[in-house]
Structure formats: C-alpha cells, structure tokens
Structure 1
Amino acid sequence: MIVQTDKYLRLLSKEYPTIADTVTEIINLEAIMNLPKATEHFISDLHGEYYAVQHVLRNGSGNVKEKIKEIFQGRLSSKEMNQLATIIYYPDKKIDLIVSSLETQEEIEEFFILTTTRITELCAFVVSKYTRSKVRKALPSDYAYIIEELLFKDTIMSNKEDYYDKIIKTVISLKRGKELIAAFAYVIQRLVVDHLHVVGDIYDRGPYPDRIIDTLMDGHELDIQWGNHDVLWMGAASGSAACMANVIRICARYDNLEIIEDAYGISLRSLMLFSEMNYLEDRYEPFMPKINPDSEEKIYPEEIRQIAKMNQAISIIQFKLEGEIIKRHPEFEMDDRLLLSKIDYAKGTIMLGGKEYPLTCDYFPTIDPKNPYKLTEEEEVVVQKLMDGFLNSERLHKHIQFLYSRGSMYLKYNENLLFHGCVPLNKDGSFMEMTINQKKYSGKALLDKYEDVLRKGYLNRKKENQEYLDYIWYQWEGKASSLFGKDKMTTFERLYISDKRTHIEEKNIYYKERDNVETCERILEEFGLDPSKGHIINGHTPVKEKRGENPLKADGKLIVIDGGFSKAYQDTTGLAGYTLLYNSFGMQLVSHQPFTSVHDALVNEIDIVSTRRIVDKELERKTVRETDVGIRLTQQVQDLQKLLAAYQEGHIVETVKKK
C-alpha cells in the first residue's frame, strides 16, 4: 500500500510539480466547495418533439424568466422582461424582428446598447455561483475576451466605466451587436442550468429525435437514463431484428419513416416493394398511420396507403421474429403471446382466454398456418437488407454510442435515484426475479444485469450474439423488464381485435406501490441510498392531471416527471407534463402547458406557461461540499494534502520550473 500510494503521489506531482501549485489547487477546491450548489434540470419522455424540448432547454424550465424577475422586477415592465427572455431563447431571429420594426439608426443603436447592458447584467448574475474558470470554458471563443471583461468588470474603479461603455459602443459600431448579444444568450442558456438529467425516451412518436440528440451532444453536462423506446433503437443498432421491426412499425404508425430514411440514411425500399408485391388487397385499415394535423407537409392518399401496407408487412414480420424469441426462452414466461398460433385462419378468428374473437383483418398472405412463425424467403431477404442498413448507418451509431457513453439503466446522483420505468415488484411487494443464464436476479442486481446485457449486445453487434439480443428485446415488452413494467404488450390485439377489453395491459404493482412511503424507502435502501434524504425520480408514465393524479407520490418521496412532450398524450393528461429543478434552495416541480410554435414564441412572445410547486426546501442553502461533486473534490483535497506533506517531508522533490 505504501508503494502504491507513493506511486500515485508521484503521478499527481506531474500535474502539481511544486508546493505552490499544490497549495493553490487546495485553496481553489476548498473555495469551490463553499459555492452554492448549482442547478440540476430533470426532463423526461422527449419523444422526438425537438422544438418543444429545445424551448424548455433554452428557458431552463422557466429558470431564465425567474432570473430576469429577480434582477429587473420593478425596473422593467412585463413586456420588456418578456422581450428580453425571448431574445435569450432565440437571439438571432428575435433581434432581426425587432430591428426590422425600428425606423431610424438612432433607435437601432439605442436598442443594441440597452439590450447589451441588460443582458450583461443578467449574465453576471447567472454566472455568479460559478468559478471564473468554469465560466471561461462556457464562453464562445469569438467573444470570450469581450464577455469576460464585461462580466467581471471592476465596480470599484468608477473611472473605468467609460472603458466598458466604449467596448459596447465599438462592438455596435462594427455591426456586431447581434452576435455579441447572441453570445451572451448562449452563456445564459448554458449556465442557468449546470447539469441536465434526461430520464429516458428520447426516441419515437415525434419527428426529430435525431435533432434532440445533436442538441444534447453539443450542450450541457448531462446524463441519460435509458427509456424503453431508447433501448428499442439501441437493440436495433445492436443487430436485433425484432427490435428493428418494432422501430419501423412505430415510425410507420406515427408517419415518421423519414427518421429512418432521411435522418439515418437507411433505405426502406426493400420493405416498400415487398409490401406492394405481397399485400395486394386493400385490407389495411388497422394499419393506417396517425397523421399529424399540424404538419405543414401535404401527404397524399396514395402515400398513406403505401405506409399502411408497409406497417402491415413489418407488423407480421415483427410477430414472427418475436415468436421465435419466445420459443427460444421459456424463462421469459411469454407463451401466452404466441398469438399467431391461436388464429383460426379459415374462420378469421382468434382464441384468447377461452373466448373466440373475430379479427378486424383476416388477411395473412405471408403466413403458413402450419408454421406461422417462419419467415418466407422474401421476408428473410427484407429483414437482412434492413438489418444491414441499421448496422451500417454512421449517424445512427454516432447517436447510439452517445446514449451508451452518457447513459445507464439508473443513476444515483446527489442522494436521488433516477430511472425511467420501475423496479419490478411481485404482487406482495417483493422484488420480482428474472432468470438470465440460469441465474436469478432482482432489485438493483437485476437492473445492473440488464445494463450489462445491453452494453455487451452493442459491443458484439458484428458477431453472433443472439442471446444478448433476445434479452435486449425483452427490455421492450417483458413483464420483468424495468423499462416496460406491464404484464404484456397488446400490439397484436390493438391491430386485429376491436374488443378493447383485450387491449388492456396491466401495470406492474410498482405503479400502485410507489404511492407508499415504505415501498419507496425500501427501494432507495436497495440501491444504497439514505431513504430519509433521497427521492426517486421517475419518467415513463404520463401524469393524468385532469383526472386528479398527482405527480408527487409517497408524500413527495417519489416524483414523476414525464415531460408530456408527446402530443399523442396531451389530450389525456390535460397539460404538457412536468420537469424538475433542484438548486441550492431545494426542489421545484414545474408543470408546462403545450408548446405552440417557435413563431408564437418569437412574434407573440408566448412562452410555455409554467407553474412551480415546492417539493423540498432546504433549511440552509446547500453548498457544493454537500453534493456528489463535493465528495469527489474532498477526496482530491485529501490527496493533495498528502502530496503537500510528501513535499514538506522530502519524500518527493519539487520540480524546478524553467524561467
């Protein structure tokens, strides 16, 4: 141990080669730990709604407006504060709109001077809880020197006011006022929230999940807890044909096939030709896509028909592929989902739970009733071509690798437990077991094993790894999946049976038990957290507020923050969901109304209406020292103190710096 410690300290001395360097860093870290805890921002269930998500990220769930009110309440009118907020959200476009409405050059210059002064004051307030070093890293390189001079100006030396005024006026005279304001706006957006938590489901339903990931890759410090829809895409990119078929079916269902073809460059031509050649009859009513009524792009009846046929074809392929997985894994206990075996193809009926139901569509041109799960030769060719596209899409793998690098099944962060779906429970409240490779797992160990399978499945994507892929698919619709959390997925019933009683999917008992304080505390303990301090932060299930459902469960011990960004849910929920803020003063739950459009935000300055609710209020303002970052910094200080002692006792010699 002495040798290992000595070796570590010698490595550390390479970074801090002198006593002065070591002392300076100790002082710096101790100072940082006494700063107020920075703001965490929790969002969930983004579902491809890029513009709404981008707006929430730009306004920090209303945090930007709160900062504006703190600084300018009583000094600016509501209209002026709204305008300043909109400039921060969309600086380039909003400034162009304002400038185009001004008549004289004097008015334009006055606008730029006034706006630059205000945004500088606001930015200085926002960054006041950070070190200069951290602020510098967030500054756009083009305007870093100017912004730093204005942010950290000397307020004591009054004779320097002319110097600062001259900086602003010179920038404006050089026609760069808009660019400077935009640079300030970026810094505010970046630092009004320090850390972003994305609690699952970036993909599916909405049209632009790829753009959301691009934004996340270029923005805040963040982590991601995978959602069931994310894992479906991760499985498809890992080589799971069953996951891939589900991805294509969902995109067809929501008229979002452009994500696959345009965003990721994966050709669907083989599927389109196959569906046209094999599904000749116009019997595709259950497979019609959901057309977005707000879409600006016109869609023609022939295109709708084509998408419906592709949906029909890939759905049958999906059921066949899933059937083979279920037969390979009796431990999945999913034999009741082998529905193609329960169809009377001559009568056009299916037997479920001892009752016979007529099928809404009895057209199965590619199914052999004697061997219903066997792919036809044509289907095998289609699956292989599609799979090659998913395995070789450079942009898709760039995004999936980002999900793996920043993501996990769950996260413990600042005494809180974050996960997307649930911790599967039995009806008696005990942790549900799942057998993987002849070994049983439950609770935390089960989620750890699921993550291990997901990572190994992707790492071995170009090899024979069917077993990993089958377990990845199980995350999508298995009853012991922490991401699914239901007894079954009734996709077949929704497509082929009109009786809605067959569409019911019973939720895992977790979703009732999460109202129970004792259950939540037991889950926190299972994951090694102090139940008296921590919270569970959940996504996945929309909160039906208009039916009286409360997002705060178990006396606030569990918080549901399904963002409700997906328009498909908003009629049911009655609002656009929740996000969560956690700063040095405590936790605030923020509810949102639906985002209308960027045009409304720009022209009419209509923001997402937010209501804040206190979840937890700190009795004393929390500092960095009391966070996970503080624990790491404390350890660094202790290591540096050992290095300092080694220098002072002569065990390690200072490095002489060259002059």
Structure 2
Amino acid sequence: MADNGEQLRYLQLLSKDFPTIAAAASEIIRIEALLRLPKGTEHFMSDLHGEHEAFLHILNNASGVIREKIDLVLGDSVPAHDRAELATLIYYPVQKLPEIKAKQTDLDGWYRRTLLQLIELCRLVSSKHTRAHVRKCLPANCGYILDELLHAHFEDHDKDLYYGQIIDSILRYERADAYIIRFCEVIKHLAVDTLHILGDMFDRGARPDLIMDQLIAHHDVDIQWGNHDVVWMGAAAGSAVCVFTVLKTSLAYGNLDLIETGYGISLRGLERFAMDFYGGPIDRRWIPHADDREHLSPDVQTRNARMHKAVTLLMFKLEAGVIARNPDFRMQGRDYLNHIDYEAGTVTCHGQVYPLLDRDFPTVDPADPTALTPREQALVQELCRAFTQSERLQRHVQFLYAHGAVYKVFNGNLLFHGAVPMTEDGAFAPERFEGRLYSGKALFDYCDRRARQGYFAPPDSPERRAGQDFLWYLWCGALSPIFGRSAMTTFERLYIADESTHAEIKNPYYKLVSGPRAEEIAVRILAEFGLSGEGCHILNGHVPVRAVEGEDPVKAGGRLVVIDGGFCRAYHRRTGIAGYTLVYNSRGMTLRTHQPFESTAKAILEDEDIASKSKPIYVARERILVRDTDEGRAFLATIADLSRLLDAYRAGVLVQHGD
C-alpha cells in the first residue's frame, strides 16, 4: 500500500465482503486448502487452420488425457474394445449414444455399467478440484444428483447399494440418456482446466468459424494471435486491404463456404466483376489449391480462378496505398504494380528485372497503376460493408480481442505465435514506429496496443485507420513478431519464375534458437518477459516442424517447444505428421505427436481415436501445487490482505458488522 490512509480505505472496501473476524478467517482457511491442491491441467494447441473436425476431436480427447484416465480407472478388467467405445461415447455423447443403444440386448444392464464407469471416471477427474468448483461445472437441471453421486461418503452405507438405488431411479424415470450425456460433458470439462491456442485458427482449412464457435463455448481459453488471425481481425474492423487479403487466401484454397455460408457474405458482386474483366482464358496458376475432400467441377474451378485473380490484383492496389502512407513499415519496393513496365512485360524486384509470367492487367492503368476504377471502388465498399455487418464474424473477432493478445505469460511459460525479432548476433531487433524504437517485450506490447486500436478506436478516425494498417503489417511485416519473415512473397510466386525471389527468409530468431547458443538465447528471452528457473519454457507455433526430415520440435536444451506440426491437412506431406499438442499438469509437461484424423463420422462409427505418441518435455521435481502457479500467487496476496483485515479488526481500527 502507498500509505496508511490508502491501506485503510482498501481494508474498508474489503470489509464489505468479509464483515467479521470469522468471515475473514474462514476465507483464509478456504484459500489455504485450495493452495494445497494439485495444479490444474493445461492443454496447448496451435495452427489449427480451419481443420475443425481434427480440432474438435483433440479437444474432446484432451490430447489423449481422457483415454489415459479410462485405462487408469478400468484397466484390463474391461476389454480394449469396450474402453475405446466408452472413450468415443465421452467424446461424442449425443452422436454415439443412439448407435450403442441400438445394439444392446440388455439396455438396462448397459445403462447401469456405463453410469457406474462414468461416475468413477468423474470422481477421478474431479479429485483435483474443490467441491465448490465441481458444483459450478455441473448442469443446473441435474446438478444435485450428480453432486451426490460424485461426493457420497460410504462410511455409513454400502456403496453399491447407494449407487444402485439412485441409478434405479434414473432408469425408472427414463433419465439415463440425459445423465450419461451430462457426465460425459463434465468429465471433459474437469479433465482440462485451461486451453491455450497459440494462433492461426483461420485460413487453409474449410471451417475456422466452427473452431471459433467451440472456443467461445469453452470454459477457459486464451489465444495468442497468429498472423492469419490478425488479418481477419482487420477485415472485421473494415480494413479494405485486410478484407481483400482474406478473400485472396480463401479463394486460393477454395474456401468460399466459409465466406458465404459461415459468415453470410455474398460474393455475387465479386463474381460479376470477375466475369466482366477476367472472363477470357485463365492461367492455371489461378486455380485454387484442391483439397482431396472437395470435388469441384471444372466450371466452378474456372469461376473461382477468375475471382481469385480479380481479388489478388485489387489486393496489390490496396497494399500499395498502405505502403505509401506508412513509411515506418519499410516496405517500399513491395508495391509491385508501381514497378512494372507494362509495355515490356517486366517487373523490377530487388533491383533485378524479371519477365512477368502473366501480362494480363485489365483493370490497371499504367499511368496510375494503383488507382481504383469506379467499379473497383464500388466493389471494395460493398465487401468492406459486408464484413463489418456480418454478426457472426463480429462475434468471433470480438472474442479474439477479449480472450487474445500478442503474447501471454502464464504459470512460468511464455506463449506467442511467431518469433521474437532478433539480429544476427542475438540482440533484440529494434523497430522504429511513430518516432520511437521498440524491441523485445516492448515491441510485443506496442503491437498489442496498435492491434486493438484498429478495432476499437473511434470509427473513421485517423487512429482507427492507422491501427487497421498496422493489423495488415502484423500479417506480413518483416519485424512483426506474429509473422517473423522477411516478406510475404505472394506477388513473386504468382508473377516471377525465378524461385530465388520466392524465398521468405526467416527472422534470425529461428536460427538462433536452433544453434549452439540456443539455450542462452532462450534464457535471455524468458528473462526479457520476467521469467527464470528450470520450469520456464517458450512455447510457440507458426513454422511447421518438418518431423519427416528429423527436425525436433524441442529446442534450446528443452527451453523452447514449437507445437506447429502441421495440423492443417495441406501441411501433412511437408511435416509427415498431423500436429503437436502439449499437456502441462501437476507432474510436468508432455508433448503429444498426432497422426492424421480421417473424419468425425469414422471416429464415431468405428471408435477410431487419433493415433498419438507422448514424450516428456519437463518432469517436475515435486508435484506442482496451486500455490506454485500464478493463481496461487494471487491467492497468497489475498491471504496477506485478509490477514491485515484481521489485524485491523483485532486492533479496533475497523469495527465488525455482524455476528
């Protein structure tokens, strides 16, 4: 406290919640009991990229934690097939229950066995929590009975008889299905306390909107923004360059269902525009990347290719405007429409002249190549309005802002998506914005503030427009900690044959954390964010780990773990796996390596789980308790405040109110 007067005012406010010595003492005792509980389980995922079915399955099975609990409780006394079926029931209770019931010859017997198994599982996963916390997780309509089943004491009565009587009542009143579904949901809720998403929910995969719905429904989640997320945040804010960037990516991967069905944004105007100006023969480079789960007709592919090209050229025009009004971004020369010799069919890139692979620019005026035509201006306004008026998109982006940030420090771990920009010699790379230099943690904090400015600054204000431009910079800027590469070489890959121009050079961070000084660098980064000690780690995603080539996701002497293992189907061939996740519980941290997930339908029908392997990353010397966590440190501060309140009551400085 700053002074005795301020401390007294604070204690007076605290006394409203704890008006007596007994009330304050009881709260201290309650908190001290909480501090002795094991730390809750944290679940880390990254780079989901719209793969909603695989995401939901790993969310439901908690990266294998649920199956481990089943095997622990039931063991070999229950056949492996039955344990697999029970796991599927827990993952997908509403869908799996009718299928299991249909094949039972003794349904009541199955109900009894299953309810008893679920009760024992629920008792196990609830053992790390207080009864008050478990009660909060129980559904209101049957919470009392579930609470009784979970917390009954059997010193005074027979366990089997007690459970049997309650289950008989559940069956008599035809409530078994409801109780099974509720138990399954409670088990999943209690198995994982906190979910961390290290960025990139959007793009490439078909339905990131369904991932966002699941995250919104989750009981405790935080998000570290990825570059594919911030550009959608900019689009929702009304940034024209961000709108056309997300449209370009969606069209490149054939994900129009996300735009039109997921977010209710009509592309009719864009389709008409593309047909009017790009209706002739179209080069194959504009054909969207095909997902083997999609079967698009040649006519649809050609239509999408024309829209893809139209959107891309508009994007290049809009990018040029952002580059011109933001010299701080240091992207001069990347406004390629200004560096084309339209008569010769060449472009200047990094001082070299290259022939263009495509010389068709029907809406570009060589005298003013980045100017929008009247039709383009109208289309930009139409689509920006559609993005800002999509209620579902706005709900998702508001959730990203409310539960997300550029980085998070939590329970000794530093979480972010991309990189800490560094120089070749291992110093934090400085970047100048608005006349000031920022590096390290200060750069992360600055980026976070500017990202929020792009959505929350007053409409039509210079601050809002500048913030929206900065969201685009976070998507593709050289010293963006969310991007971490020299440039987004979209133009080069589409228009220049020389592949040396296609390279997106990684920030020195990536070389440094894999090199001979890796552990020293990691320790210095952790210290920059206020962390030290053997249990502290850097956790990030963004760059897929090429496991198929022997690359290890664990770097810097175990101090850093990259958990982008190619969750998105488009990356599976490159990585050789289908993603990494992390589980951090009271015993330590475990890396889970996952194989491809075929479909939810197959998982439900055949009880097929994702094949995964586990590898310990960090084993705690002693079991980690709540007192050792960030929450525990907050609890200890509360105990200190309550102790001062007790002293004030006992000294007569404050008067008790009540018995």
CA distance in 2, matches of 1:353, 1:452: 32
Counterpart among 308, 312, 315 of residue 311 in structure 1: 308
Q: CA deviation at 1:636?
A: 0.9
Aligned to 1:65: 67
CA distance in 1, matches of 2:324, 2:605: 58
Amino acid of the structure 2 residue aligned with 1:331: D
CA distance in 2, matches of 1:175, 1:253: 51
Kept in 1, the 8 Å contact 2:535–2:620? The answer is no
Identity in percent: 44
Aligned to 1:643: 645
Aligned to 1:427: 424
Amino acid of the structure 2 residue aligned with 1:475: L
Aligned to 2:161: 162
Offset from partner CA, 1:199-248 (integer Å, 9 cap, x none): 11111111211111111111131111100011001111222211111001
Kept in 1, the 8 Å contact 2:539–2:563? The answer is yes
Aligned to 1:132: 131
Residue 619 (structure 1) aligned with residue 616 (structure 2): no
Q: Per the alignment, do residues 153 and 531 of structure 1 end up closer, same or farther by CA in structure 2, a change over 3 Å counting?
A: closer
Q: CA deviation at 1:563?
A: 5.1
Q: Report SS of the residue matched to 1:337.
A: coil
Q: Per the alignment, do residues 283 and 161 of structure 1 end up closer, same or farther by CA in structure 2, a change over 3 Å counting?
A: closer
Aligned to 1:287: 286
CA distance in 1, matches of 2:226, 2:219: 20
CA distance in 2, matches of 1:411, 1:169: 49
Aligned to 2:259: 260
Kept in 1, the 8 Å contact 2:475–2:483? The answer is yes
Residue 86 (structure 1) aligned with residue 83 (structure 2): no
Amino acid of the structure 1 residue aligned with 2:322: I
Aligned to 2:439: 442
Residue 412 (structure 1) aligned with residue 409 (structure 2): yes
Aligned to 2:383: 386
CA distance in 2, matches of 1:247, 1:377: 22
Q: CA deviation at 1:51?
A: 1.0
Structure 1: 5+ residue runs without aligned partners? none
Amino acid of the structure 1 residue aligned with 2:77: R
Structure 2: 5+ residue runs without aligned partners? none
Q: Report SS of the residue matched to 1:137.
A: helix
Aligned to 2:219: 220
Q: CA deviation at 1:475?
A: 0.7
Question: Which TM-score applies when normalising by structure 2?
Answer: 0.96
Kept in 2, the 8 Å contact 1:37–1:627? The answer is yes
Residue 328 (structure 1) aligned with residue 325 (structure 2): yes
CA distance in 1, matches of 2:337, 2:555: 40
Q: Report SS of the residue matched to 2:591.
A: strand
- 6-15 or 610-619, which moves further after superposition? 6-15
Q: CA deviation at 1:146?
A: 1.4
Q: Report SS of the residue matched to 2:141.
A: helix
Offset from partner CA, 1:61-117 (integer Å, 9 cap, x none): 000011112212232221121111111101122221111112x3xx11111100000
Offset from partner CA, 1:153-184 (integer Å, 9 cap, x none): 11212346433211112212322212111101
Aligned to 1:481: 480
Q: Report SS of the residue matched to 2:196.
A: strand
CA distance in 1, matches of 2:509, 2:211: 30
Amino acid of the structure 2 residue aligned with 1:75: S
Residue 3 (structure 1) aligned with residue 5 (structure 2): yes
Aligned to 1:527: 529
Offset from partner CA, 1:495-528 (integer Å, 9 cap, x none): 2223333211111111111121111111111111
Q: Per the alignment, do residues 594 and 461 of structure 1 end up closer, same or farther by CA in structure 2, a change over 3 Å counting?
A: farther
Kept in 2, the 8 Å contact 1:524–1:531? The answer is no
Q: CA deviation at 1:555?
A: 1.0
Aligned to 2:570: 568
Equivalences, count: 652
Kept in 2, the 8 Å contact 1:238–1:461? The answer is no
Amino acid of the structure 1 residue aligned with 2:609: D
- 561-570 or 31-40, which moves further after superposition? 561-570
Amino acid of the structure 2 residue aligned with 1:231: V
Residue 340 (structure 1) aligned with residue 337 (structure 2): yes
Offset from partner CA, 1:517-547 (integer Å, 9 cap, x none): 1111111111111154411001111111010
Kept in 2, the 8 Å contact 1:590–1:611? The answer is yes
CA distance in 1, matches of 2:230, 2:101: 46
Kept in 1, the 8 Å contact 2:238–2:387? The answer is yes
Aligned to 2:633: 631
CA distance in 1, matches of 2:571, 2:158: 58
Counterpart among 372, 377, 396 of residue 374 in structure 2: 377
Q: 1:227-246 to 2 correspondence within 5 Å?
A: 227-246=226-245
CA distance in 2, matches of 1:94, 1:554: 44
Kept in 2, the 8 Å contact 1:60–1:192? The answer is yes
Kept in 1, the 8 Å contact 2:440–2:528? The answer is yes
Question: Which TM-score applies when normalising by structure 1?
Answer: 0.96
Q: 1:509-524 to 2 correspondence within 5 Å?
A: 509-515=508-514, 516-524=518-526
Offset from partner CA, 1:251-286 (integer Å, 9 cap, x none): 111111222222222222222221111112122422
Kept in 2, the 8 Å contact 1:522–1:531? The answer is no
Kept in 2, the 8 Å contact 1:284–1:312? The answer is no
Amino acid of the structure 2 residue aligned with 1:509: P
Residue 367 (structure 1) aligned with residue 364 (structure 2): yes
Counterpart among 521, 530, 539 of residue 541 in structure 2: 539
CA distance in 1, matches of 2:302, 2:279: 11
